[in-house]
Amino acid sequence: MIRLDNISKQNGQRLVFIEASAALQKGEKIGLVGPNGAGKTTLFRIITREEEPDEGQVLVERGVTIGFFSQDVGEMAGRSAVSEVMDGAGDVSTVAAELSELETAMADPDKMDQLDEILERFGEVQARFEELGGYALDARAREVLHGLGFSQEMMDGDVSRLSGGWKMRVALGRILLMRPDVMLLDEPSNHLDLESLIWLEQFLASYDGALLMTSHDRAFMNRVINRVIEIDGGNLTVFSGDYEFYEQQRALNEKHQQAQFERQQAMLAKEINFIERFKARASHAAQVQSRVKKLDKIERVEPPKRRQTMVFEFATPPRSGEDVANLKGVHKRYGNRVIYEGLDLMVRRRERCCVLGVNGAGKSTLLKLVTGSTTPDEGTVTLGASVKMGYFAQHAMDLLDGERTVFETLVDTFPQAGQGALRSLAGGFGFSGDEVEKRCRVLSGGEKARLVMALMLYDPPNFLVLDEPTNHLDIGTKEMLISVLAQYEGTMLFVSHDRHFLAALSNRVLELTPEGVHYYGGGYTEYVARTGQEAPGLHV
* φ/ψ (deg, to 5) at 347: -110, 125
Rounded CA gap, 314 and 457, in Å? 7
Instruction: Write down the pLDDT at residue 154.
Output: 92
pLDDT tens, residue by residue, 26-60? 999 999 998 777 889 899 999 999 999 999 999 99
Distances in whole angstroms, Cα of residue 87 to Cα of each of 95, 138, 204 = 11, 11, 21
Rounded CA gap, 312 and 429, in Å? 7
Count of alpha carbons within 13 angstroms of residue 17, beta-carbon side: 27
Outline where 303-444 has alpha helix (H). 363-371, 406-413, 419-428
% of the chain exceeding 70 in pLDDT:
97
Residues 6+ apart with CB under 8 A from 157: 80, 81
Could you give the 3-state DSSP secondary structure of residue 412? helix
Mean pLDDT of 154-166: 89
Spatial contact of 532 and 539, defined as CB atoms under 8 Å apart: yes
Q: Which helix (H) or strand (E) holds 164?
A: helix 164-178
pLDDT at 310 over 60: no
pLDDT tens, residue by residue, 332-366? 999 888 999 999 999 999 999 999 998 778 999 99
* φ/ψ (deg, to 5) at 17: -130, 140
Distance of CA 273 to the CA centre of its chain: 51
Instruction: Write down the pLDDT at residue 173.
Output: 94
Tell me which residue of 486, 527, 484, 533 sits closest to 508, measured CA to CA. 527
Residue 331 bridge partners (DSSP)? 378
Instruction: Write down the pLDDT at residue 239.
Output: 94
Residues 6+ apart with CB under 8 A from 316: 460, 489
Could you give the 3-state DSSP secondary structure of residue 207? coil
pLDDT at 304 over 90: no
Spatial contact of 19 and 55, defined as CB atoms under 8 Å apart: yes
pLDDT tens, residue by residue, 458-489? 989 999 999 999 887 888 888 888 988 998 89
Q: Looking at 297-306, 451-460, 487-496, which range is the least confident one? A: 297-306
Mean pLDDT of 103-129: 86
Count of alpha carbons within 13 angstroms of residue 44, beta-carbon side: 24
For the purposes of burial, counting CB atoms within 10 Å of the CB of 346, is it exposed (0-12), middle (13-18) or buried (19 or more)?
A: middle
Distances in whole angstroms, Cα of residue 512 to Cα of each of 125, 219, 353, 521 = 50, 23, 12, 15
Sorting pLDDT into bands at 50, 70 and 90, what band is 540? very low
Rounded CA gap, 420 and 433, in Å? 13
Tell me which residue of 98, 80, 171 sits closest to 134, measured CA to CA. 98
Rounded CA gap, 28 and 30, in Å? 6
Number of Cβ within 10 Å of residue 202's Cβ equals 13
pLDDT tens, residue by residue, 218-252? 999 999 999 999 998 888 999 999 999 999 998 89
**pTM for the whole thing?**
0.82
Sorting pLDDT into bands at 50, 70 and 90, what band is 308? low
